Amino acid sequence: MQIASKEVSATSLVKAALEKAKRCENYNIFISLNEEAALKKAQEIDEKIKKGENPGKLAGVPYALKDNFLSKDGNTTAASKILEPLKSPITATSVKKLEDEGAIMIGRVNMDAFAHGSSTENSYFGPTKNSKDEARVAGGSSGGSAVAVALDIVEFATGTDTGGSIRQPASFNGVYGFKPTYGAISRYGVVAMASSTDCVGFFAKSAEDIDLLMSIAAGQDPYDLTTLPNYYETSEVKDVKKVGIIKDFDVKGEIKEALEKEVEDLKAKGIEIVELEMPTLKYALAVYYIVVPAEISSNLSRYDGIRYGYRNKDAKSLDEVYGKSRSDGFMPENKRRIMIGNFVLSSGFYDAYYLKAQKARTLIIKEYEKAFSKCDFILSPVTPNPAFKLGEKTSDPVSMYLEDVMSVPINLAGLPSLAFPVSETKDGLSLGLQLIGPRRSDKSLLDFAERRLK
Amino acid sequence: MLSNFSLEDAEAEALGQDLSQIIEYISQLDELDTEGIEPTYQVFEMENVWRDDEIKAQEADREALLALAPEAEDNQIKVPKVL
Amino acid sequence: MKDYEITIGIECHVQLATKTKLFSEVDNDAREKEPNSCVSPVDYALPGMLPRLNKEAVRMAVIAGHALNAKINLLSRFDRKHYYYPDLPKGYQISQLYQPIIGAGYVALPDGTKVRIEHAHMEEDAGKLSHFAGYSLVDLNRAGTPLIEIVSEPDIHSAAHARDYCKELWRIMTYAGVCFGDLYNGNMRFDVNISLAKPGEPLGTRAEIKNLNSFRSVERAVEYEYKRQSKLLDKGEKVVQETRGWSDDTGETTSQRSKEEAQDYRYMPEPDIPPIHLTEEFVEEMKVEMPKLPEDYREQFKGQIADDTLEILLDYQPLVEKLGETKDVKRVSNWFASVLLAEEKSAEYLNDLPSAKQLNDLAEMTEKAELSSTGAKEVFLKFFDPQMKNRDAREIAKELNVLQENDTGALEAIVDQVLNDPACAQAIADYKAGSEKVLGFLVGQVMKASKGKANPAAVQPILKEKLK
């Protein structure tokens, strides 16, 4: 990626990014631009460069922030009405780390409200359009992040991935999207969706760029008890010999062709391909749509119109403050998930749904462990189909959920996975695949992608 | 009630319909044998992650926090009367 | 009315005396502080905030568990309990339902009975609401204060028993050093479950009286509930399973929420906090560090101090702790119980008790009759006088001029002086004529002549000898 230097100033990089962002308004990528602060920061970096001070590893690099990260720069909406945008007094740990290295946030990008969705259509600010075909969805929930990178507005963008929210839009837009091992990057200051699967990750134009971002953002944070002790930089890069493919997924059409071509390429490079039987994975989507809504219903309880965000002006009683503020403030998909969550946690259904799902989760994790005893990484499609049309699935939530079938099992097991672009359909839509590794194999995964998949 | 929404009839009906479809879908888990399997609540292998008992300055103080409240009075958050 | 047996189970919330809150590094002691001045973004439940577990709270929970003679569960976890209320910022309380840190135990009461503990768990406290005309205000200073909730088995069968149990819990928790025990400020709160049944019949429907904050209200609320429920049952009506509130002013309980409206808390394992996995060594170490508990002192002072005196003193841990350091526990316990506690400023004095040496010296001087019991009390009180408190007992006694004259030589001189006094001639004659009772008069004269310093017990034999 282009770093600011004596030759190329941070100011020019940021100005170019802002201009491009404005030219791409028709895609509805940005919820808000951070123009003034970004230019001021660019100036500061240029000063540092002039004085010969260290401007940081990401000096002057413009980036887009998914709008579910808190930062003192700008207001956070999580693409919902209920945060009414929040002027946050705190900054997320991950954002702080990036900015300490000189990265410059030029704007906050669109997403499905509270990251609930696979198309960025569930945004209070309207859908973001696909970078290859404006009639199609950007994917989601981090749709804005993917399109901002795909259209070359920014060098990288942050994302969050709870069930595929980085990898799916990355693959719908032909960019790299990385969901690290659960616990690699602090969740402090990131609007929570499902605490046990939420991961902060990145969109960029190469695995190498993502490696740099990981080396900066990963690490233990006393403000997030579920962060792993620093392992990213110190982990050994392994010599990859075997890559597995999952027999149980029903892969069709152009995605199947892309997968087969990649397999042939790997074989040609001397990699052994191992066929894996993973029969439990087909239950992962059901497990996901129990566990994740349960955590969502819990995490979204705090949006009550009391301490911050939107409060319905006509609410007279306390019950009305809750009821009306939440009804107005949440999108229908938020409400669906909250209601499913409350259902699976309610007394009488807890054992049959929530507990059962968490047991099934154990089986899924074991299945991955078994798979990784036979191969180093797993190669898989990210989605069953390329980007679908805007509005195509909005009236049928289950069909929308089915788009996540190949991405959610990875989150349930907390594994790292990199979505990378491979080719295009005959209609010019992006096709991507993902490479999945065991926990803490992040660095090897990115290294392999950089060296062997190109 | 549990979700704390006040929904119009039409929205409630639509959501109800979606919900029944979703519940039908997730109920396929019944087929899976989970006898004797321990649940996994966290995919995180660490234990005893805690901090020392020492007072520290916080990133946001009372003024910064209360400034976010839709209504505040006397350094407190104001809500309609709790019965 | 006496047809019914009462069965009571009590849930007690104990605020732990940590410096900071359970999940954030802000001051846990909000007494005398401005509203919302001890609130972090975590307590305020901003989006993206995560709990940061306080290790000291875990340590105190283990100590509390030992104090309850309970099994410590080496593996424990937190769970979320969901409900909407303005004093609960996250919309859930972080608690422990499925795997609490403290397992089964018991509390031994002074009357020799035991109340079994079902379990005890850690959780966070909620904030505080104040109500005004048309609105309420929320103060989150208390939100996130670490609590342990101690759940008893239904082993309690009278109002007095309920009161004694609560009081003993209060003593145990304060002795163990895990709670400040300030009931006025809500450091301990009691939820009391009460049900009535005829002897031999299964337990009746229970009502829960929530949020009692004194032993007296526990006792009164149980008495009131006994009357209320037995009246209902006498009339053939049913007791409704519900939550009731207690008013100290009216002396009545009133319905707050019935079971039909009861909340479904939708408990869920807390994904933001890794499990607590204690080692046997750590748990044992806490046992070794355990301060003495009321039961230990009962054992220690058994037979030396009257039971009722000891029970009075046991309400004041510093007193029994000090008592344990002294040699003459009988005398010292009496000074504590009947002199110190009778003082208006006794509460202040408890924080600055005399040294064991001061008390031992005083007791020894009294034993040797160098001081009268009145003189001893005077010296004892001076131990609390800012001007004199650090001085030796003997020094103070000298200063107060209350040392008794025991020296036989000196006493004989005074006796001689009295016997030679013409004013006493009549008395001496009467004594010699056989009137024993004038001896008292003569002793009194000696006391007077000695300015009160003569020890009457020593004077009497000398007088008798000289009058032979």
Instruction: Kindly state the tokens that stand for A44.
Output: 């500061």
Phi, psi angle pair for B3, to nearest 5°: -85, -15
Q: How far apart are CA B38 and CA A94, in angstroms?
A: 33
Q: How far apart are CA C253 and CA C250, in angstroms?
A: 8
Is A205 domain-assigned?
Answer: yes
Residues of A in contact with C92 (CB under 8 A): 298, 301
Phi, psi angle pair for C444, to nearest 5°: -55, -40
Residues of B in contact with A90 (CB under 8 A): 59-60
pLDDT at C435 over 90: no
The residue from C400, C421, C450 where one domain ends is C400
DSSP string for C336-348: IIIIITTSTTHHH
Condensed to tens digits (0 to 9), the pLDDT of residues A91-108 reads 999 999 999 999 999 999
- Alpha-carbon gap: B47 to the closest alpha carbon of chain C (Å): 5
Q: How far apart are CA A26 and CA A35, in angstroms?
A: 19
State the best of B50, B56, B74 to mutate against chain C, taking most chain C CBs within 10 Å.
Answer: B50
- The dihedral through the CA atoms of C229, C231, C234, C239 has a sign that is negative
Q: Cα–chain-centroid distance for residue A20?
A: 23
A165 noted as active-site residue: yes
Q: Specify the range with the lowest mean pLDDT, choosing from A43-52, B65-74, C348-357, C459-468.
A: C459-468
Helices (H), ranges, C41-186: 55-67, 159-175
DSSP string for C136-163: EEEE-TTTT-EEEEEEE-S-B-SHHHHH
The answer to whether the CB atoms of B51 and C269 lie below 8 A apart is: no
The answer to whether the CB atoms of B18 and A336 lie below 8 A apart is: yes
Domain range for residue C432?
408-467
Q: How far apart are CA C376 and CA C403, in angstroms?
A: 9
The answer to whether the CB atoms of B80 and A321 lie below 8 A apart is: yes
Helices C55-67 and C159-175: angle between axes, nearest 10 degrees: 130
Which chain A residue lies closest to B26 (C-alpha atoms)? A286
The residue from C248, C282, C316 where one domain ends is C282
Is A36 domain-assigned?
Answer: yes
Condensed to tens digits (0 to 9), the pLDDT of residues A364-383 reads 999 999 999 999 999 999 99
Q: How many domains does chain C have?
A: 3
- Tell me the pLDDT band of B8, cut-offs 50, 70 and 90: confident
Q: Which residue has the tokens 């007394």?
A: A347
Which one from A141, A145, A417, A430 is the annotated catalytic residue?
A141
CB distance A421 to A430 below 8 Å: yes
The answer to whether the CB atoms of C25 and B76 lie below 8 A apart is: no
Helices C159-175 and C215-234: angle between axes, nearest 10 degrees: 150
DSSP string for A54-110: ---TTTT-EEEEETTB--SSS-B-TTSSTTSSB--SS--HHHHHHHHTT-EEEEEE-
Q: How far apart are CA A359 and CA B21, in angstroms?
A: 23
State the best of B2, B63, B77, B83 to mutate against chain C, taking most chain C CBs within 10 Å.
Answer: B77
For residue A99, give the nearest of A66, A71, A68 by alpha carbon: A71
Percent of chain A predicted with pLDDT > 90: 98
pLDDT at C2 over 60: no
Same domain for C167 and C18, yes or no, is yes
Same domain for C34 and C170, yes or no, is yes
What pLDDT score does C379 carry? 93
Question: Which chains have at least 3 CB atom pairs separated by less than 8 Å from chain A?
Answer: B, C
End-to-end Cα separation, chain A, in angstroms: 17
Domain range for residue A157?
1-226+236-454
Same domain for C250 and C395, yes or no, is no
H or E stretch covering C49: none
Is A370 domain-assigned?
Answer: yes
Same domain for C150 and C181, yes or no, is yes
The residue from C400, C429, C456 where one domain ends is C400
Q: How far apart are CA B68 and CA A309, in angstroms?
A: 7
Which chain B residue lies closest to A411 (C-alpha atoms)? B43
Beta bridge partners of C79: C95, C269
What number is the ipTM of this complex?
Answer: 0.97
Residues in Cβ contact with C81 at an 8 Å cutoff, skipping those fewer than 6 apart = C92, C93, C94, C95, C97, C123, C265, C267
Residues in Cβ contact with A169 at an 8 Å cutoff, skipping those fewer than 6 apart = A120, A138, A139, A140, A141, A142, A143, A145, A146, A147, A159, A177, A203
Residues in Cβ contact with B75 at an 8 Å cutoff, skipping those fewer than 6 apart = B62, B66, C34, C35, C36, C37
Is A127 domain-assigned?
Answer: yes
What pLDDT score does C1 carry? 44
Is C287 domain-assigned?
Answer: no
Mean pLDDT score of chain C, rounded to an integer?
93
Is C414 domain-assigned?
Answer: yes
Same domain for C383 and C438, yes or no, is no
What pLDDT score does C440 carry? 86
Condensed to tens digits (0 to 9), the pLDDT of residues A116-145 reads 999 999 999 999 999 999 999 999 999 999
Phi, psi angle pair for B75, to nearest 5°: 60, 25
Q: Cα–chain-centroid distance for residue B13?
A: 23
Which chain A residue lies closest to C265 (C-alpha atoms)? A346
Cβ of residue B67 closer than 8 Å to a chain C Cβ: no
Residue A78 or B83, more confident: A78
Same domain for C178 and C40, yes or no, is yes
pLDDT at C200 over 70: yes
Is A231 domain-assigned?
Answer: no
End-to-end Cα separation, chain C, in angstroms: 72
- The dihedral through the CA atoms of A123, A129, A135, A138 has a sign that is negative
State the best of A223, A349, A362 to mutate against chain C, taking most chain C CBs within 10 Å.
Answer: A223
Q: How far apart are CA A256 and CA A302, in angstroms?
A: 43
Which chain B residue lies closest to A279 (C-alpha atoms)? B32
Q: How far apart are CA A298 and CA A341, in angstroms?
A: 8
Report angle CA C10, C59, C312 to the nearest 5 degrees.
Answer: 50
For residue C159, give the nearest of C188, C186, C194 by alpha carbon: C194
- Alpha-carbon gap: A25 to the closest alpha carbon of chain C (Å): 28
We report the CATH number of the domain holding residue C414 as: 1.10.10.410
Residues of A in contact with C266 (CB under 8 A): 297-298, 342, 345-347, 350
A129 CB-side CA count, 13 A: 10
- The dihedral through the CA atoms of A89, A92, A96, A102 has a sign that is negative
Cβ of residue C275 closer than 8 Å to a chain A Cβ: no
Residues of C in contact with A229 (CB under 8 A): none
Same domain for C149 and C64, yes or no, is yes
Residues of B in contact with C138 (CB under 8 A): 76-79
Q: Which residue has the tokens 């959610």?
A: A408
Cβ of residue B78 closer than 8 Å to a chain C Cβ: yes
Q: How far apart are CA C60 and CA C65, in angstroms?
A: 8
Q: How far apart are CA C386 and CA C392, in angstroms?
A: 14
We report the CATH number of the domain holding residue A384 as: 3.90.1300.10
Residue C441 or C79, more confident: C79
Q: Would you tell me how many other CB atoms lie within 10 Å of the CB of residue C457?
A: 12
For residue A68, give the nearest of A58, A57, A54, A83 by alpha carbon: A83
Q: What is the total residue count of chain C? A: 468
Give how far Cα C81 sits from Cα of A9, C41, C86, C90, C96, Å. 53, 20, 15, 10, 9
Condensed to tens digits (0 to 9), the pLDDT of residues C405-424 reads 777 777 888 888 888 888 88
State the best of B8, B9, B29, B61 to mutate against chain A, taking most chain A CBs within 10 Å.
Answer: B29
Q: Are strands A199-204 and A156-161 parallel, antiparallel or unpaired?
A: antiparallel
Q: Which residue has the tokens 């310093």?
A: C453
The answer to whether the CB atoms of C36 and B76 lie below 8 A apart is: yes
- Alpha-carbon gap: A281 to the closest alpha carbon of chain B (Å): 11
What pLDDT score does B1 carry? 56
Q: Which of B44, B58, B78 sits opposite C135 (nearest CB)?
A: B78
Which chain B residue lies closest to C83 (C-alpha atoms)? B2
Q: How many domains does chain A have?
A: 1
- Mean pLDDT of the C125-150 span: 97
- Mean pLDDT of the C379-403 span: 90
Give how far Cα C62 sits from Cα of C71, C101, C108, Å. 9, 8, 19
Cβ of residue C53 closer than 8 Å to a chain A Cβ: yes
CB distance A121 to A135 below 8 Å: no
Condensed to tens digits (0 to 9), the pLDDT of residues C214-246 reads 999 999 999 999 999 999 999 999 999 999 999
Same domain for C256 and C302, yes or no, is no
Which one from A71, A165, A407, A417 is the annotated catalytic residue?
A165
Residues of A in contact with C24 (CB under 8 A): none
The answer to whether the CB atoms of B68 and A87 lie below 8 A apart is: yes
Give how far Cα A122 sits from Cα of A287, A390, A435, B9, C338, Å. 22, 11, 28, 21, 75
SS3 A1: coil
- Tell me the pLDDT band of C259, cut-offs 50, 70 and 90: low
Same domain for C184 and C220, yes or no, is yes
Q: How far apart are CA C311 and CA C192, in angstroms?
A: 24
- Tell me the pLDDT band of A297, cut-offs 50, 70 and 90: very high
Same domain for C138 and C252, yes or no, is yes
Same domain for C72 and C218, yes or no, is yes
Instruction: Kindly state the tokens that stand for A441.
Output: 């194999």
The answer to whether the CB atoms of B41 and C131 lie below 8 A apart is: no
pLDDT at A454 over 80: no
Buried b (16+ CB within 10 A) or exposed e, C177-214: bbbbbebeebbbbbbbbbbbbeeeeeebbbbbbbebbb
**Rg of chain A in Å (alpha carbons):** 21
Beta bridge partners of C105: C117
Condensed to tens digits (0 to 9), the pLDDT of residues C81-127 reads 999 999 999 999 999 999 999 999 999 999 999 999 999 999 999 99
Residues in Cβ contact with C144 at an 8 Å cutoff, skipping those fewer than 6 apart = C21, C22, C23, C24, C26, C40, C42, C43, C124, C125
Query: Is pTM beyond 0.90 here?
Result: yes
State the best of C22, C38, C44 to mutate against chain B, taking most chain B CBs within 10 Å.
Answer: C44
Which chain A residue lies closest to B43 (C-alpha atoms)? A414
The answer to whether the CB atoms of C277 and B47 lie below 8 A apart is: yes
Residues of C in contact with B67 (CB under 8 A): none
H or E stretch covering C209: strand C207-212
Condensed to tens digits (0 to 9), the pLDDT of residues A210-223 reads 999 999 999 999 99
- Alpha-carbon gap: B24 to the closest alpha carbon of chain A (Å): 10
The answer to whether the CB atoms of C36 and B41 lie below 8 A apart is: no
CB distance A219 to A230 below 8 Å: yes
Question: Which chains have at least 3 CB atom pairs separated by less than 8 Å from chain C?
Answer: A, B
SS3 C105: strand
- Mean pLDDT of the C442-462 span: 84
CB distance A431 to A168 below 8 Å: no
State the Cα torsion A281-A286-A289-A295 to the nearest 10°.
-80
Is residue C339 classed exposed, middle or buried when 0-12, 13-18 and 19+ CB atoms within 10 A define those classes? middle
- Tell me the pLDDT band of A81, cut-offs 50, 70 and 90: very high
Q: How far apart are CA A101 and CA C226, in angstroms?
A: 69
The answer to whether the CB atoms of A359 and B7 lie below 8 A apart is: no
For residue C361, give the nearest of C374, C376, C342, C350 by alpha carbon: C376
Is A145 domain-assigned?
Answer: yes
